Structure formats: structure tokens, C-alpha cells
């Protein structure tokens, strides 16, 4: 029993760290798509609704400030 508790704590910490790394990677990928740097030769001219959804997810994930979000939203909408 005394060995199980430290192992569980280590596993919880590793899970947290790996989850944060995955979130960061996902945010970076979405950010690249929103900026028009689409991977694998896809065109950057995606549907504005899709881009706005991706932009919103970035903001909700904390990867964008309010000002960055508004600036990118205006760019996508052509305002």
C-alpha cells in the first residue's frame, strides 16, 4: 500500500504534463490553420465559419488574448 500511493501520484503528474503538452500542440496546430498555414498542401481558403470556430477554441484554451482574438476575427471576416 505504501508503494501504490507514490506511484499513483507520479502517474497523475505525468498524465497532467502530457495533457498540457497535447493541449499546447493542438493549440499550435489550430493557430497555424487559422493563420493560413494549412498542413499537407491544403488550401488556406477554408470556410470562414470553420476558421472562426478554430479561433474560438484557441481563445477558450487560453492561447489567444481578447485583443488577438478580435484582430484575427476581423481578418477572417474581412472587416
pTM of model > 0.75: no
If one compares 77 and 26, the residue with the highest pLDDT of the two is 77
Mean residue pLDDT of the chain comes to: 74
Residue with cell 470556410: 47
Q: How far apart are CA 55 and CA 68, in angstroms?
A: 10
- Can you tell me the distance from the alpha carbon of 47 to that of 13, in angstroms, rounded to the nearest whole number? 39
| Gap between the Cα atoms of 29 and 51, Å rounded | 12
Specify the residue for cell string 470556430: 53
Distance CA 51, CA 78 (A): 12
The DSSP 8-state label assigned to residue 51 in this structure reads H
Per-residue pLDDT band for 43 (boundaries 50, 70, 90) equals very low
Amino acid at each position: 500500500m505504501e508503494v501504490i500511493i507514490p506511484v499513483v501520484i507520479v502517474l497523475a503528474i505525468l498524465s497532467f504534463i502530457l495533457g498540457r503538452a497535447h493541449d499546447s500542440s493542438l493549440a499550435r496546430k489550430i493557430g497555424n490553420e487559422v493563420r493560413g498555414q494549412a498542413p499537407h498542401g491544403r488550401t488556406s481558403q477554408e470556410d470562414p465559419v470553420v476558421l472562426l470556430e478554430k479561433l474560438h477554441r484557441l481563445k477558450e484554451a487560453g492561447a489567444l488574448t481578447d485583443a488577438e482574438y478580435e484582430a484575427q476575427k476581423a481578418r477572417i471576416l474581412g472587416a
